[in-house]
Amino acid sequence: MRGLPTLQIPEPSSVRRVATVTGSLAAKGSDCHGHYRPVPKHKTGVDGILTVVDRLTKFAMFLPCRYHAKALELAEVLYAGWIRTKGYPKEIVYDGDTQLMFDFWLALIKRWGSSLKPSSARHPQTDGQTERAYQTTQVLLCTLIRPDQKDWVERLPNVELAYNSSIHPAIGMSPFELEHGSPITSSLDTIIPRTAESDNQLLFLRQMQELLVKARDQMAKMQQRMSQQANRQRLPCPFRAGDLVWVSAPEFSLEQDISPKLLPKWMGPWPIVAPVWDAPEGPSFIIQAPAHLPVYPVFHCSKFALYTPTEHDDFPGRRSQDPPSMDGFQEVGDIISQRRYGNRTTEYLVHFA
């Protein structure tokens, strides 16, 4: 069928390295990547770790939060932990649900009047550095927490300090050194007196500038090597603004009691409005989705298949393959309690949003 995508689709789009942030450390607004995962519930009620990593300095924060937190609560956690000390980021790449990302950004704008640029990962490789930072956090926590795993919140500051004081391979130095201009001090440094020359402001500013240049050069080289390695077997992205494309059906949240196995594998076709980044070849694009779909309209090109127009007489009566309406959908705001008797299905008492 000419209008439908083929079954075998090669991996589209070469890997593009994320733009390196330029400018002085004092003047820049941080670009951060967000990522959160569940952990054992703490006595304070938190059961998740929000990992935030600065794109330039690789400085990371590990913020305890509720794993099923709403958008406003996540915004409060980000503000108290990150924005309070580093200011508003110019861009956030977030790996979670796109609807939650949209609500989260609205919460930031409504709460603090921010006018920032959101960006959803929608592609596992986009948010790889926060995934790697979280994996490192898990390894460090395993060596520090008690066997009952009840003190992981108290150990997060130790993990954060250890992570930020270690040499990061992408920048060739520790994130702490690039963030603050000097390596982290130990207790011995307070005993040894400092010279007047080491406290000279001009020397400090020069060292900061040298660190910034060194970090940018090292980051660009690392990104170039990773891009070349990843692009060896990849094809250029064939999609452009204005193209009609099919979108992979699993990208849409469907109404309850609707079996995804009985639905089409592709939805659409819908037109591509514009690329997300400055480059016209993507790889992420904004599509013109139907208004009744509560979905963030940004998709990676690997979720697309090119639509080939057919003669109307070939398939009379064919209609667009739109997802079903979400009128009966209700979002769960919080799980209050649960119960289970014997081998029966677990029942949940919930509060709807």
3-state secondary structure of 71: helix
What was the pLDDT predicted at 325? Answer: 53
* pLDDT value of position 294: 66
What's the confidence (pLDDT) of residue 9? 43
The whole-number pLDDT of residue 21 equals: 40
Q: Are 47 and 66 in contact (CB under 8 A)?
A: yes
Give CATH for domain 32-189+197-229: 3.30.420.10
| pLDDT value for 132 | 72
Q: Look at residue 7 in the predicted model and tell me its pLDDT.
A: 41
Find out whether 64 and 44 touch, Cβ atoms under 8 Å. Answer: yes
Asked if 54 and 160 touch (Cβ cutoff 8 Å), the reply is: no
Start and end residues for every CATH 3.30.420.10 domain found in the chain = 32-189+197-229
Task: State the Cα–Cα distance between residues 56 and 181, nearest whole angstrom.
Answer: 14
What is the C-alpha to C-alpha distance for residues 275 and 239, in angstroms, rounded to an integer? 10
| pLDDT by 10s per residue, the chain, length 353 | 445 544 444 455 554 444 444 333 333 334 444 445 567 788 888 888 888 888 778 888 888 888 887 777 888 888 888 888 887 776 666 655 555 666 766 776 666 655 555 554 455 555 566 667 777 777 777 777 777 777 888 888 888 887 888 777 777 778 888 888 777 765 545 544 555 554 566 666 666 666 556 656 666 676 677 777 766 777 777 888 888 888 888 777 655 556 666 777 888 788 988 887 767 777 788 888 887 776 777 888 888 888 877 665 566 666 656 555 555 556 677 888 888 888 888 888 888 76
Whose CA is closest to 270, among 323, 312, 310? Answer: 323
- pLDDT at position 188 is 45
pLDDT, residue 29, reads: 36
pLDDT at 302: 82
Compute CA 100 distance to the chain's CA centroid, rounded to the nearest angstrom: 12
Structure confidence at residue 25 (pLDDT): 34
The Cα 289–Cα 272 span in angstroms is 9
User: How far is 72 from 94, CA to CA, in rounded Å?
Assistant: 15
| 71-78 and 98-112 helices, crossing angle to 10° | 60
